[in-house]
Amino acid sequence: MNSEKKRIILGIETSCDETSAALFVPGKGIIAQTLFSQIETHKPFGGVLPEVASRGQLERIKGIVEECIRAASLSIDDITTVAVTHKPGLPGSLLVGVCFAKAFAWASGKELIGIDHLEGHAFSAFIEHSIPFPHLCITASGGHTSMYYIQGFGNYQTIASTIDDAAGEAFDKISKVLGLGYPGGPIIEKYARDNNFADVFSYPRPCKDTMTFSFSGLKTAILYDLVKRGAYDLATRTLLDHSEQLKRDVASSLLVCIGDIFEHKVKLAYSQYPEAQALSFVGGVACNKYLKERLKTWCDRRKLKFFTPSPRYCTDNASMIAFVGNYKAEQGLFSSFDLDILR
Ligand code: KG4
Ligand code: ZN
């Protein structure tokens, strides 16, 4: 990059079913973000269909990037650096973003940086807040649930991760079982709120005293509890009891259970990292007001700062990719044009 030229980073995110572009200017922050979500396409299937997702990415990527540059009143020449998610995610979807970013950067002489999607989430709260180091971060989405000990930009270690499913997947699957639709998180939250967050069924809280998450057993426990109550037929995979009260009871019991699991894990992590000065809660599941409130209350009691991004930066977005791209560029961590996807 020409040393006279002010760095402007174009972030590109296509790891799953969102196509997003964003522009980051040092000193100003995010100046534009565009995003197209395929949620409506995947809704009838109760989850993301990978082949359909990658085709959707291909149809949208060019328009989303152009729209973002236009929204910021910039031209292609103003951009110095392209930061793109290259792992982890759906291979076909990732390929669209990485191929587009490489072609764009190569053809117009830009720097290229491959970004880890999870690092994007882990630093997403910085888009709107200044968070002291060291701090703990809990990342919960449809594909991942982890905790990090963060000591600086790009300097973090995973201190807990899931051994099977992610928290978001538990919401999505149980919502599907109850016939409530996709994505499950917001619907489960609504039903749980209507039930005053009552813990009716006391589902099991697994891995209580270890730094591991597990949500697969919880999904099975809920399913078998429904079978036991005569509300679900395993052989035909159909819900037999369609009462709204049962849905509310399952939803609120599930949400309170996940709230307990998160709170317990944060407590355990703080006992191991007492010097941590704050907690951030990020990823799609961090849109959940009940979970945010519980974690904030826990932090308030201990005089710890609590941070969470606005919902638009919790779910998949390119702003977090552009933000990480900026500090990677400052650290000189560029990628070659051999950049490839990693699952
Ligand atoms: O971060 P994200 O957009 O995509 C992944 O990287 O997976 O997260 C999507 C996940 C879905 O599982 C969705 O059900 C969940 O975030 N989610 C929520 C809420 N809004 C979205 N989970 C709980 N409560 C919500 N309000
Ligand atoms: Zn994500």
Per-residue pLDDT tens digits for 48-75 = 999 999 999 999 999 999 999 999 999 9
Tell me the per-residue pLDDT of 144-169, one tens digit each, with 9 for 90 and over.
999 999 999 999 999 999 999 999 99
Of all protein residues, whose CA lies closest to atom 3 belonging to ligand 1?
315
The residue contributing the CA closest to ligand 1 atom 8 is: 284
Distance 307 CA to ligand 2 centre (A): 18
* Residue in the block written with tokens 């669209």: 96
Atom of ligand 1 nearest to the CA of 18: 3
Q: If you measure from the C-alpha of residue 159 to the centroid of ligand 2, how many angstroms do you get, rounded to a whole number? A: 18
Ligand 1 pocket list (CB less than 6 A):
16, 141-143, 168, 171-172, 183-186, 189, 283-285, 287-288, 315-316
What is the per-residue pLDDT for 134?
98
CB atoms inside a 10 Å sphere around CB 71 = 15
Distance 118 CA to ligand 2 centre (A): 7
Is the pLDDT assigned to residue 2 strictly greater than 70? no
Written as six digits, the tokens of 57 are 């990415």
Q: Which of 299, 280, 288, 226 is nearest to 256 (CA)?
A: 288
**What ligand 1 atom has the least distance to the C-alpha of 171?**
14
Looking at residue 250, the DSSP 8-state letter turns out to be H
Average pLDDT of the chain? 96
Helix (H, G, I), strand (E, B) or coil at 259: helix
Could you tell me if 239 and 177 are in contact, meaning their C-beta atoms sit under 8 angstroms apart? yes
**Closest protein CA for atom 7 of ligand 1:** 142
pLDDT for position 5: 78
Ligand 2 centroid distance, CA of 314 (Å): 8
pLDDT at 4 over 70: no
Q: Is 41 helix (H, G, I), strand (E, B) or coil?
A: helix
pLDDT band at 343 (very low <50, low <70, confident <90, very high): confident
Q: Which of 252, 315, 319, 321 to mutate to test the pocket of ligand 1 (most atoms within 8 A of CB)?
A: 315
**Ion ligand 2: residue ranges with CB closer than 5 A:** 141, 316
* Mean pLDDT to the nearest integer, 26-49: 94
Average pLDDT over residues 73-93: 98
Among all bound ligands, the one having the nearest atom to the CA of 287 is: 1
What is the sign of the dihedral through the CA atoms of 272, 275, 279 and 280?
negative
Ligand 1 center to residue 168 CA distance, Å? 5
